[in-house]
Chains A and B, each alone.
Chain A
Amino acid sequence: MVEHGDIRVVHRGGSKINFREPVITNDSKFLLCASGECVKVFSTSTEECVHDLRGHTDLVTGVIIKPSNHLQAYSCSADGTVRLWDFTDGILIKTYVIGHPIYSIHASASHEGVVFVVTSMHADKRPDLLQLVAVHLPRSGDQMVEARELSAVLSDVSSNPLAIVFGRGGEYIASTKGLKLEVYLFRKQKAYSFFLKEDNKKGRRNTFTCVACHPKDDCIATGHEDGKIRLWRNFNQKKEYTYSTLHWHHSAVSSLCFTPEGTNLLSGGIESVLVQWRYNQEDQREFLPRLGAAITHITVSPDGSLFFTSHSDNKITIIQSCLKVSAAIQGLVKGESVTTDLMMDPRSKSLVLNGKPGHLQFYSLQRDKLLYNLDVVQQEYIHESGLQQFEVVKAAFDASGNWLATVEERKQKGAEVELNLKLWEFDEQTQSFVLNTTISAPHEAQITGMCFCHSTDNQTTMLVSTSKDGHFKAWQLDAQAHTEDERPSWSCDFVGAYHSLVPECCCFSADGSLLAVSFQEVVTVWSTASWELLTTLSQPPKAIRNLCFGRLSCSKYLLGTTGNNLLCCWNLLTCSLEWSTSMDVSLLLADPISENMAAFCRQAGSTDLFVFKPSEPRPLFSQKAVCPGKVTRAIFAPREEMLESCEESSQWLNRSQLYFLTQHMDLMTFTTKVEEDRLMASSKQLVIDDTVAMTPFYLLLGKHRQQDSGDAQSGISTERTPLPQGSVAIKELLQTPAHVLPSTSFLCSMFVQSLLISVTEPREENKATEEEMESEKEEEDSEEEMESGTTRPEQAPLGRHAAESAAPALTKAQVRELRRVKKLDRSWFAGLLDS
């Protein structure tokens, strides 16, 4: 086995952006999100990721804007550091080492130089006991500073950052955990605790979920597990506190937020409805329903014009204050599991997998951006926990990307499985998939596998589905339409079974002439043209897990993995076992554009990767312990441009890239040194010139100015560019108070003259250099001389254009007159202005 130092496993995008609440900069232009081990800076106007703030070595657990400088931000991480960033340029300014993993960070303007972090100080005693600690950030010029000046403020706090909030300009801090609300008043240096009963009469739970403080009033809003919101007042004493209850949500309130002026309270929960309560008139509510997925965080921009909601489907929605959705930033949606396999859309070259409930997501790997969601189920999603919904469980693309097949499934307890097989056709006009055929109940039991025939020369497209009901079915597109308005639709072509065994995997050969279906431990090979059973292959005693045909030169091989840790390779020409090897392969997949195959094997708790050709005895590449845990989903993605790596071990990465999902749903890939270097070279930071505010006035004038400056650079049409002398004169003329200036009639002729001179100036300058030469020449030479002036681009490229545009109108006499005017000394005028 060869170890390859130059091939590395790296994270490739798709990390969560809804882990912590997004932070909005003071000018509402950027959005800072903790995303995995980095902080992402999004532009709110374009929704593009502007910067990745990289530096933390563990999960980033919180981001806040530095209260004293709104162009810098603190981030905290589980690696025990707090880092200070300049997010507009994406520069790390300082690193404060705390030493304990940090769960959240809070700061307030009234506490200069102090940040409050939630950390577990007593790591040795009780790791689950968290404390809110004030950290005095030392002033020092060093990049790396150790912050050791810690003082505990509150003990036993929740790790959820939504459970701790500063109130009214940092006068107090409110923290909730379980059934306790704790308020710490900084002025009194005293903490008050308020407790709720565990259950109320109807058996609903009172546990606190989140807390928010009114910016102007002494009022704390708390959200509860049973959907209630309590508004606490008069809490600066132990006894006479009061609270009022608001109830609209039917399940837990996950986030609360006051608008900056305190006029409204926003709340959200699983229902995915943003509720806006009027402060002090709580019966007046406004709703923004159907936001797509459960709301996890709500934030409001400092000017109150935009609301931002994070959703459980890895999305941030930007909402205008009139409750109108204006934009959405969508990351890769990762549920608990990927039920559909990872797929590549042959058209957009995007990664396709099931996303939010009932949808397929198309995710661009190159741009790390979700392209779009395809609504497969087309039913209203009811946001309620414990409800059985339709889920997309299988999907497949045909070779050209014209057809997409999806299977949706809904399993109700005590009832049969509801299945729908849908076939979608790509519509060139709308550039999206359009439903062509719906087949309800295509099988009587769950569908275990589905694949399209991938050969390109076949006229008819064929789809095969295998099911637990013991049948596999071939579906075909009806070529002939009966009437003109009816488009071709799909219908069943063949139903096959083998000894009433349950089919598991199916696979078409590269040319589409053979279909292999595994029935438990038997592989059956069928001819797709006549639906004859050609042969059976088996390697008892365990069931087949994966089936794969070889490609290109290896198309005579059929590979399969069995439950008893065997990887078998059958030769289809001799119908015999070519070779087999003992390895616990969890996933076997073929590269669609080469002969290579990748096998992920489990060994001692981690996964190894082998890349091999079926015809060669030695693997092309192998790497031990690619990642801990089991790899269940992987895909070969064809590259946009080929790499030219000569090294034998990395050649398999030249044409396609291998992506895989780990147990923890991280999207990983393999990169080579060459590729990384190239990426580094080509990646220029996306800089957006947002320095000028977009006002109507800017729209009118800004564009003109940009145009002018651009024109000046290119050197075309410089007539209007004022020359230095003229512009100074005019400026002085305009800036000097009117009562100081001479009379207008006196100035007018001078002013006009100054303009005239400015036009012909450069040419005159040329002429001045040749003053003596010209005096020797005849009068008629002057025209020729003028031409010589214009044909000397190296001397006066600007003047030439000016003269060309102005010259046709000027006669010889006028030119001479202009020359004379130029010779006039205007310095007296400057002196006049100075006096």
Chain B
Amino acid sequence: MISATSDTARFLPSAWMLSSISISSSSNFHVTAPSVFVVQTKSISVTSTEMASFKPTKIQVYPKLGEKVTQDTLYWKNYKAPVQIKEFGAITNIDFSPVAPHNFAVTAFTRVHIYGPFSQEPVKTFTRFKDTAYSGRFRSDGQLLVAGCEDSVVRLFDVSGKVALRMFKGHTKAVHVTDFTSDSYQILTGSDDYTCRLWDIPNATELNTYQEHTDYIRCGVTSKLNRDLFITGSYDHTLKMFDARLDKSVMTMDHGHPVENLLLYPSEGLLVSAGGRYVKVWDLLKGGQPLVSMKNHHKTVTCLSLGSNGQRLLSASLDRHVKVYNTTNYKVVHNFDYAASILSLGLAPDDESIVVGMTNGILSVKHRKSPEESKETSGQQRRKPSYRVFVKGKNYVPKQDDYLVSKPVKQHLAKYDKQLKRFNVSKALDTALETWLRRRKPEITVAVIKELDRRGTLKNALAGRDEQSLFHLLNFLIGNLVDPRFAPVLVTTAEMILDIYRSVIGQSPVVDRQLLRLQDLLEREIDYQKDLLEVLGMLDTMFASSIPRKEVPCSGISRSNGLGQGEASTSRPQLQAT
């Protein structure tokens, strides 16, 4: 048992040395990424003249792992639990009405449903489709709605009516793209017959046909500023911009993958396209020059949306994620997870709600929390004493002639600190090992053990325990010994316990069982560390061989080396710890 613990202490550093030697011998300069805990402390006031106050035990603050809390995460997390509505089939399109109540049209299977902002039931349903409907879109005044269909007929509805006002026939295959032009008298459609057409609404006649794409047209967008401009994206990997005044496209951009969705910025200087795993941004004012290419999804990106008045870009993908990008630097600032592959995404103005349609026909609607609600939830987390108790006498403002008698502020000490102050080392350890602390806040227990060690009295505190308390102590060790944050302290503790209680091993079956568990744990941990070191050694040689040798080191190389190692050495804190 004893040899096991000391083995961990001795074996690991030497192995680590070996691996580090391999790095330094391979290149003159090696730069390691910082692998230390940096902890920011909340302001601790330092009083220089404090005399007789006991300094409480310092509880080490460990950095929180996981994502960092930013303004964006706070903003995008501030939504209520989603409302889920089951539709009949895959939801292919979601469109928000541009006018006030901001209803949204959901196109799923053979229907287009219109939902109110807070209703869970559709306020309106359009069912007059012979086959699967596609792309139900509102006109800019919110009065008319157009939708394509698998049967190649494009239907125009009045939002208040039921029967189609106009039917536009002329496409030979399914129409997946419909949109109103900015003068709101024409309709753009794009179809699987590789054509896109412009239609006149009053006459229901076809104005023009463009046959430039060589594959299905699955997305398109009209300019909101110019009634003659529109852009289509096709499975032939291209984006084409057309001018209704001409007969052919005026600009062609190659996306490199079948284009699934298109989005124009409100300024219409930038175009965003989604296709394959890529989201690309094009500068239209520079003749369609590619600006940014983002590959943040691991499956096809299906739809795009703009939020926060064009400050944020959202992309949804078949990989069940919605990602939020900052449109100034195109970095992902937030990520939403959903249950199924996402086909459509809609964002209400001012980000009031996020609507996501998925392949399994479930529509998920998230509403933003109102300011009161968001405050409420944070307030519920803490139980405070009632207001009256809290402010009793505190809000008294002294008058001018009042003589203020300063009352010494009583220092509040935790239970274990009170014991430590009295030098009751065993009791302090007992208090720190209370069930609640042991389970919930092991860092406090470890800090007390560390403090006892610093005072040189840990041995006294550990000695003279009965079966029950020794059982608890060993339980705590088994639970936390391999935690890299606590290992240095707990390994010495374990060694001390074994030294102290060596003579009584075998007298209590309970304690013996715990000791065996501890031994198992350590053996497993040693194996695990060995494996990790092997992996690390392999990675190091890979990195070393990938660096071109140079006499004068280049900063870029040393940096990439450092970063590479940083990524690879996630186990490094553990190594240092043991």
Contact = CB atoms under 8 A, between A and B. Distances in A.
Contact of A532 (B41, B553, B562): B553
A491 B48 contact: no
A333 B444 CA distance: 34
Interface stretch (A482-490, A658-666, A786-794): A482-490
A496 B29 contact: yes
B29 A374 contact: no
Nearest to B559: A531
Interface string A374-401: 1100111010100111000000000000
B509 interface: no
Contact of B38 (A430, A439, A484): A439
Contacts of A292: 51
Interface residues of B, number: 50
Contact of B74 (A384, A427, A483, A490): A483
Contact of B36 (A325, A433, A434, A440): A440
Nearest to A317: B51
B46 A434 contact: yes
Interface stretch (B52-60, B285-293, B382-390, B434-442): B52-60
Contacts of A489: 38, 40
Contact of B55 (A378, A416, A530): A378
Nearest to A480: B70
A664 B420 CA distance: 38
Interface in A777-829: none
A474 to B, nearest CB: 10
Which of A288, A375, A380 has the most chain B CB atoms inside 10 A of its CB?
A380
Interface string B28-58: 1111111011111101111011011111111
A418 to B, nearest CB: 9
B562 A499 contact: no
B245 interface: no
Contacts of A288: 52
Contacts of B68: 482
Interface in A465-522: 471, 473, 482-484, 486-487, 489-492, 494-500
A380 B55 contact: yes
Contacts of A441: 36-37, 576
B31 A494 contact: yes
Contacts, number: 129
Contact of B40 (A442, A444, A486, A499): A486
B405 interface: no
B71 interface: yes
Interface string A532-557: 11000000000000000000000000
B568 to A, nearest CB: 15
Contacts of B30: 497
B55 A379 contact: yes
A192 interface: no
Interface SS, A side: loop
A289 B49 CA distance: 15
B41 to A, nearest CB: 5
B558 interface: yes
A440 B48 CA distance: 24
Interface string A432-449: 111111111110100000
A717 B576 CA distance: 81
A482 B488 CA distance: 32
Given A442-B36, A483-B69, A495-B32, A373 B55 contact: no
Given A288-B52, A432-B46, A492 B38 contact: yes
A503 to B, nearest CB: 13
Contacts of A491: 34, 38
Contacts of B44: 378, 434-435
Given A436-B40, A495-B31, A430 B45 contact: yes
Nearest to B60: A440
Contacts of A410: 454
B552 interface: yes
A243 interface: no
A607 B386 CA distance: 71
Nearest to B72: A482
Contacts of A372: 48-49
B454 A290 contact: no
Given A375-B46, A379-B454, A487 B40 contact: yes
Contact of B31 (A375, A437, A497): A497
B554 interface: yes
Nearest to A499: B28
A437 B69 contact: no
A773 interface: no
B53 A290 contact: yes
A532 B554 contact: yes
B51 A290 contact: yes
Interface in A82-135: none
A432 B555 contact: no
A291 interface: yes
A415 interface: yes
B576 A435 contact: no
Contacts of B52: 288-291, 325
Contacts of B31: 494-497
Interface string B210-245: 000000000000000000000000000000000000
B46 A374 contact: yes
Nearest to B33: A495
Contacts of A432: 46, 48
A415 B456 CA distance: 13
A434 B45 contact: yes
Nearest to B20: A500
B39 A439 contact: yes
B455 A387 contact: yes
Nearest to B32: A495
Contacts of A374: 46, 48
A222 B530 CA distance: 62
A439 B37 contact: yes
Contact of A533 (B61, B492, B552, B559): B552
Contacts of B460: none
A490 B38 contact: yes
Nearest to B71: A483
Contacts of A434: 43-46
Interface in A337-381: 372-375, 378-380
A495 B45 contact: no
A290 B46 contact: no
A533 B68 CA distance: 33
Interface string B452-476: 0011100000000000000000000
A575 to B, nearest CB: 13
Given A292-B51, A379-B55, A482-B71, A439 B36 contact: yes
B575 to A, nearest CB: 11
A66 to B, nearest CB: 34
A433 B45 CA distance: 8
B24 interface: yes
Given A434-B46, A435-B43, A437-B41, A382 B455 contact: yes
A415 B48 contact: no
Contacts of B456: 382, 384, 387
A79 to B, nearest CB: 38
B374 to A, nearest CB: 15
A184 B52 CA distance: 41
B329 to A, nearest CB: 12
Interface of B: 24, 28-34, 36-41, 43-46, 48-49, 51-58, 60-61, 68-71, 74, 420, 451, 454-456, 488, 492, 552-555, 558-559, 562, 576
17 contacts: A372-B48, A375-B46, A378-B44, A379-B454, A387-B455, A416-B488, A432-B48, A436-B41, A441-B576, A471-B32, A482-B69, A482-B71, A489-B38, A492-B36, A495-B31, A495-B33, A532-B555
* CB-CB nearest 9 A-B residue pairs: A492-B34, A372-B48, A489-B40, A380-B55, A482-B70, A532-B555, A530-B555, A290-B52, A500-B24
Given A291-B51, A375-B48, A533-B29, 8 more contacts: A328-B51, A379-B57, A389-B454, A444-B576, A483-B71, A499-B28, A531-B555, A532-B555
